Amino acid sequence: MSHPRVTPAPRTGFELDSKSASERTSVQPQQVSKKRNVKAKPAVQAKSLLLIHREPFSNEDDDIEGSQHPAEPLSADDPLAPLPFNPYKGNRGLTRAWHAMKNSLNGFRVAIREESAFRQELTLAAILVPCGILVPVSPVERAALLASVLLVLMVELLNSSVEAAIDRISLERHELSKRAKDFGSAAVMVALLVCVLTWGLIVGPLLWQWALMLF
């Protein structure tokens, strides 16, 4: 049994106009929103770039004040001021070696004149160095004896230089100044102990043998 074919009724012009109007109204907000999003993107990107490139803790007022009040030049007494030109730093070759030797001899002369401890140790070295050369020991032991004596003189000169530098900065009593000088004195004491141990271990057995032969 066949059903009769039903044909749809034709749409009127009013229905077509209402549908097209509804489609336009439904599509238009999406297009407007898309346009708004497209226009808003550059502003958001620019704001993000400003946040990225902006330095933290920056203050424009400080920059303006710094530009209006330039920094004053440092005085010669300021510790941050650049050091004066040293004409001896540019010397090379034999000229530099000559000035270095002259300054070293001058430091040695000042140490003899001003430092009583260095004079005492130098007198002790004047006695021990000939003994170290004449004592019948191997070349390595002789070098150790002489090096221990020279070590005491070297450490004493370094201690004197530290004391002179501290006194140049300030003569007032300060805990850090005292500590630095005590460190230098302790270094001299260690050098003296090394000298005593070296001479005792090398020359001590020889002196014991000579004492047994005499008595």
Task: Indicate whether 161 pLDDT > 60.
Answer: yes
- Can you give the pLDDT at residue 201? 95
Q: Which residue has the higher pLDDT, 75 or 4?
A: 75
- Given a cut of 60, whether residue 55 has pLDDT beyond it is no
Query: What pLDDT is stored for residue 92 in this prediction?
Result: 73
Query: Residues 118-125: contacts with CB within 8 Å, 24+ apart?
Result: 118/153, 118/156, 118/157, 118/160, 121/152, 121/153, 121/156, 122/153, 124/149, 124/152, 125/149, 125/150, 125/152, 125/153
Bigger pLDDT: 47 or 196?
Answer: 196
More confidently predicted of 178 and 32 = 178
Q: What integer best gives the mean pLDDT of the chain?
A: 75
- The pLDDT, as a whole number, for residue 97 is 85
Residues in the chain: 215
- 141 tagged catalytic: no
Residue-range domains of the chain with CATH: 116-214 (1.10.287.3610)
Model confidence at 54: pLDDT above 50? no
pTM: 0.56
Predicted confidence at residue 16, as pLDDT, reads 47
- For 188, residues 6+ apart whose C-beta sits below 8 A from its C-beta are 117, 152, 155, 156, 159
pLDDT given for residue 90 in this prediction:
61
Q: What is the pLDDT of residues 86-132, one digit of tens each?
A: 665 666 778 888 888 899 999 999 999 999 999 999 999 999 999 99
- Which stretch of 57-66, 73-82, 110-119 has the lowest confidence by average pLDDT? 57-66
210 phi and psi angles, rounded to 5 deg: -65, -35
Catalytic residue among 141, 156, 163, 172: 156
Helices (H), the chain: 13-53, 60-68, 94-114, 116-134, 139-169, 175-214
What pLDDT is stored for residue 80 in this prediction? 65
